[in-house]
Amino acid sequence: MTRILLISLFISVIFTAGCGKEKGREVTQSTNKTGEQEQVSDTDTTEMTPAEIFAEALVQNVMNDEDEPELEDYIAGALYAKLSASQKVTIDRISSSLFIIKYFENGTEKNLLLQKYYNPKEDEIYFESSETQFSNTKLFLK
């Protein structure tokens, strides 16, 4: 009788230990899956600088154009310092290669004319900006 009791106790311990290992494996597998998902989501998101966020907001949200990464780069690099101090900034496309940015500096309305160029020798797109006295209303509403 003692042998039967010992054998059944031994089988119970083995069965319980075996079930515990399966649960442990499931927890480990779900933890690994969660870790993989976190790694994927970490690589998908990139941290943007305030200049990049500013340029993206102007081009994609205000101008409603998602096909101008060069313009975003130019605004973030060359114009952010000047434009970010303004309380209001807007951008309009005049043509496929001409843009106008309206902003305020010390309470005075300012306008920047941006010209988009292509350099075939270097195979690159670049921009030049210049202040102008013309505004959207002066250009289009005579």
Residues 32, 69 within the same domain: no
Domain that holds residue 97: 50-140
Q: Are residues 55 and 12 in the same domain?
A: no
Residues 100-134 have pLDDT tens digits of 999 999 989 999 999 999 999 999 999 999 998 87
- Report the C-alpha gap between 113 and 110 in whole angstroms: 10
Q: How far apart are CA 79 and CA 114, in angstroms?
A: 11
C-alpha span between 103 and 87 (Å, rounded): 8
60 and 40 share a domain? no
36 and 89 inside one domain: no
CATH code of the domain containing 70: 3.10.450
**Looking at the 3D structure of the chain, how many domains does it have?**
2
* Same domain for 79 and 122: yes
Instruction: Give the pTM.
Output: 0.62
pLDDT digits (tens, 9 = 90+) for 6-59: 566 566 656 666 655 444 444 445 444 445 455 544 445 579 899 999 999 999
